[in-house]
Amino acid sequence: QKEVEQNSGPLSVPEGAIASLNCTYSDRVSQSFFWYRQYSGKSPELIMSIYSNGDKEDGRFTAQLNKASQYVSLLIRDSQPSDSATYLCAVKINIGGTSYGKLTFGQGTILTVHP
Amino acid sequence: EPEVTQTPSHQVTQMGQEVILRCVPISNHLYFYWYRQILGQKVEFLVSFYNNEISEKSEIFDDQFSVERPDGSNFTLKIRSTKLEDSAMYFCASKGRLRSAGGREQFFGPGTRLTVL
């Protein structure tokens, strides 16, 4: 079973719409959850982190975490063409004790925002 | 804003040659990481480094790989005898003190594209 799963997309939304990106993870003791944005040929750029159940908002971005369902999502409001990128879900999983921060990534969801 | 830097941006090498990829983490960070991303695939963890020693490593990080923090600023990844399948983007990341603001967040450098011929 894959540890972190994302729908690879592509997800296409019109400019101004809400883009909804989803991620599920398999390890119940996962502690920390991150969304990174990756433009083609570039490195992952951290856009959101979330550690407890519920919603966390930062500007146009909202991360949602439901540990019971092992589900984390990212909403992008008022999507812009510049938001077109691959969005990576990353999870810090504790296996067998202390984790020094190893992140396990999903395969990413390609988002296209068209004018 | 502080950032992670990496050199070179692109490294081309012949199979069997040694390469050293260099990283300068964010200055007050304590945890350092190497990840790689083969073209079209997911980002994969290689190794984490804390307090001058390896704290975790993946199955990918075999005897051909080593890491070092030779001074107070640089963090290097060495591949002793490169193989064709080592061709990938290699990302360095760093993280601050756990209890500091943003202490659980890892920040990535721009990457080094390694091409093994």
pLDDT (tens digit per residue) in A7-31: 888 999 999 999 999 999 987 777 8
Contacts of B92 (CB under 8 A, 6+ apart): B4, B6, B21, B23, B25, B32, B33, B34, B75, B77, B108, B109
Show residues of chain A in contact with B111, CB under 8 Å: 42-43
Q: What is the pLDDT of residues A38-47, one digit of tens each?
A: 999 999 999 9
pLDDT digits (tens, 9 = 90+) for A53-92: 999 999 999 999 999 999 999 999 999 999 999 999 999 9
pLDDT-derived band of residue B8, with 50, 70 and 90 as boundaries?
very high
Residue of A nearest to B96 (CA): A101
A99 confidence band (pLDDT: 50, 70, 90) = low
The pLDDT mean for chain B works out to 93
> For B21-41, what is the mean pLDDT?
95
Please give the C-alpha separations between residue A87 and each of A1, A2, A81, A91, in angstroms, as whole numbers. Answer: 21, 18, 14, 13
Q: What is the identity of the amino acid at A52?
A: S
**B88 or A28: which leads in pLDDT:** B88
In the DSSP assignment, the letter for residue B61 is -
**Cβ–Cβ < 8 Å for B77, B8:** no
What does the pLDDT read at residue A29?
77
**pLDDT number for residue B104:** 83
Kindly state the percentage of chain A with pLDDT values over 70.
92
A112 near B CB under 8 A: no
Contact A83, A19 (CB under 8 A): yes
Contacts of B104 in chain A (CB under 8 A): 32, 49, 51, 92, 101
Torsion of CA A63, B91, B96, B106, to 10 degrees: 10
CA distance B105 to chain A (A): 7
A92 interfacial to chain B (CB closer than 8 Å): yes
Comparing CA positions, the residue from A87, A10, A75, A102 lying closest to residue A44 is A87
The values of phi and psi at residue A46, to 5°, are -70, 130
The pLDDT of residue A36 is above 60: yes
Before B110, cis peptide (omega within 30)?
no
Q: Do B109 and A43 count as a contact with CB atoms less than 8 A apart?
A: yes
Confidence of residue A97 (pLDDT cuts 50, 70, 90): low
pLDDT value for B116 = 98
In tens, the pLDDT along B11-20 reads: 999 999 999 9
Name every residue whose Cβ is closer than 8 Å to that of residue A30 and which is 6 or more positions away in sequence. Answer: A67, A70, A91, A92, A93, A94
The SS3 call for residue A75 is strand
**DSSP per position, A8-57:** ---EEEETTSPEEEEEEES-TT--EEEEEEE-TTS--EEEEEE-SSEEEE
Structure tokens at A63: 């991360």
Q: Which residue of A has its CA nearest to B92?
A: A43
